Amino acid sequence: MPSSLRRRAAHLRAAYTGETYPLAAPGIARHGVGTPYAGSGLGLDTCTAPQRRLRALLALGLLNHGPTSTWPRHVSLADVTRYTLVVSPHHDDLVITARAPYNVACWLVGRNRLPEIGLPGLRVESSHAEGWRLRHLPTGAALTVTSNRNGRLQGPVTPDSNYARLWTTEVPLTTEEHAVLNALPPLGADTEALLAALTVRLCAHAPDGSWDIGTWFSNLTDRPSRAHSHHRRLSVEADRCTLHWDSDPHPEDLYAALTDPVIGFPGTMGQQTTDGWWLHYNRACLTAHSVAYGR
């Protein structure tokens, strides 16, 4: 993709994701597919296989919360969505910029003497003045958490800054983490890609304000808030995913984020129903309902 088109695509992407231009630009695919503004050309869903797996696991953690959760209580990552943040997907990294990067990192990474283990296998690779470079041991994928709005980890590595005693890459997977990962259902490539699409659109919104995901916690449109208990349940059986929730975002907003002609997940086919919607991506299918309940 010519540099002029990449610049225009980066500005367009930033209008939908809340990224700064310097943060969005590295995530733009160098070789767009189809039109320069196609979803894959904006780079949200173009990544390595390890990144795709990491993002799918994050979706399972972020979108399971409360009594109907399909993950163990001590693995819930849903509180990450309470913070003001921006998600910036790159080809071989997932960058999260946040006003409180320390708090976000503490929910993502396990540490001693606390029951929460974060995302199983996620560790601190290096600490910096403004954030952390994290590494997921099972996949080798990288994740960056920083307060720098442009996604940078500036300054030298500061090993003493890890004052939360977050687990580092020197800590091998624990027995609990092995148990959680082994209990997960098999995820095919299409299912991983569909779940990953949810993660990278965590903060997506329409520039005209017609829809907004609001990090699954805040209603940023003019419609009444649906916030109740923030219960969420994302389950997977074979290639079928089911998502229930009882708060923001509005069901039509999430559908719009995945099907929008500019920022939507390319290759999907969907249809809205009376109580939600369904979406197909190759062999994978995601069915969404806006009320959380058990099986």
> For 135-166, what is each residue's pLDDT tens digit?
999 999 999 999 999 999 976 676 655 556 88
DSSP 88: E
pLDDT of residue 228 exceeding 60, the answer is: yes
What pLDDT, on the 0 to 100 scale, is given for residue 115?
Answer: 63
Lowest mean pLDDT among 52-56, 109-113, 174-178, 274-278: 109-113
229 or 209: which leads in pLDDT: 209
| Residue 23 contacts residue 150 (beta carbons within 8 Å) | yes
pTM of the model: 0.92
What pLDDT, on the 0 to 100 scale, is given for residue 37?
Answer: 37
Q: Note the Cα 126 to chain centre separation in Å.
A: 21
